[in-house]
Amino acid sequence: MTNIVKNQHYVPQFMLRKFAKGKKHRIFVYDKFELKKFSSSVRSIASEEHFYNFDHIGDISLGQQFESQTNKRYEDKFASFINEFLPQLLHVNEYQINEDEKSIVAKFMAFQHIRTRKFREESIRVNTDAKNIYMDQSPVHPAFAHQLMYMDLELTDVYGKNASSYLDKITDTLLTNYDWILGKNNTSNYLYTSDSPFAMRESLQGVHNRKGVTGSVDYTILSDEIYFPLTPRFIFLLFEKNSLPRHFKKDQLNILGSNEVINLNKAQVRRAFRQVFSTDGNFETADNIEFETRKKLINEGLDPRILLTPQPKKNDV
């Protein structure tokens, strides 16, 4: 096989570049595991070698197909739309998005939701007591389960409208069950993004708990609030029908306050698998979240000697 792609992204580079600066597209990174901050090219983040490959069964051909064809199919339409849509927002107070365009955005959001390392790790744990999902007794390897979802997308394309993939069902949920808001950030703080930018207010397990889904797993159910940053200044906010906060208005650019930006950045930190991304390297909110998370773990009995802990800021948020 020629032109093998080793470094496979689960957040597309065209999205990451919208948070980067300069001709070399440098972006600031916060590593939740090691509590390190550094700058990087977008080529080197939100990606892993052979992420989509069936390495554990010795087959890389499907992974290459996912990387070079499946991902591109869902990315291209959204990239074309968003590159035309965003410049229109710079000098207007209202925005218009027709049903076809909304469908393009919803399908990309759904695809972005299920393609990440975060989803791979989190989905296999839902409604289980599994702590180490890589142990031999685990019935399904997380990578294999995740790749089966990609095969589901491919089979849907083969069998056409008679088949319905996870992606179709999630897309339909986004289009029918949510009010869509576009937020504009005029504050001095930039919006974060992350290696899991489709940030739900609740975890997958939290959604299952709230909806009373036990004994099985439904990957198509979603949180009551969803946050999807487009740039450091613009973000889609989705709220379940009949739960839209009063101060938000449909079909308008809703100006976000400082506290709202901080809370949206908190959501990106909490839902990121490992890396949070920033345009200017201001990770005060990320530090505060990780400090509080580790303090909670220590209070629950975890040995503090095994935890890296960021220094708390004077003005915690």
Parse the chain into domains and list their residue ranges: 7-282
Model pLDDT for residues 114-135, shown as the tens digit of each residue: 889 999 888 888 887 655 444 4
Nearest to residue 50, comparing CAs of 39, 60, 35? Answer: 60
> Where is average pLDDT lowest: 4-18, 131-145, 292-306?
131-145
Mean per-residue pLDDT, 155-173: 65
Kindly state the tokens that stand for 34: 């090691």
Q: Which contiguous run of DSSP H or E holds residue 258? A: helix 258-271
- Please check whether residue 147 is in contact with residue 62, taking contact to mean a CB–CB distance below 8 angstroms: yes
**pLDDT surpasses 50 at 310:** yes
Q: Give 155-208 as a 3 state SS string.
A: HHHHHHHHCCCHHHHHHHHHHHCEEEEEEEECCCCCCCEECCCCEECCCHHHHH
Task: Name the most confidently modeled range: 139-148, 157-166, 175-184, 245-254.
Answer: 175-184
**pLDDT surpasses 60 at 18:** yes
Q: In the structure, what pLDDT confidence band is assigned to residue 167 with cuts at 50, 70 and 90?
A: confident
**pLDDT surpasses 70 at 1:** no
Higher pLDDT, 201 or 123: 201
Beta-bridge partners for 311: none
Nearest to residue 45, comparing CAs of 7, 5, 76, 3? Answer: 7
Q: In the structure, what pLDDT confidence band is assigned to residue 317 with cuts at 50, 70 and 90?
A: very low
Kindly state the tokens that stand for 235: 């973000």
Higher pLDDT, 83 or 216: 83
Model pLDDT for residues 260-305, shown as the tens digit of each residue: 999 999 999 999 999 999 999 999 999 999 888 888 888 888 787 7
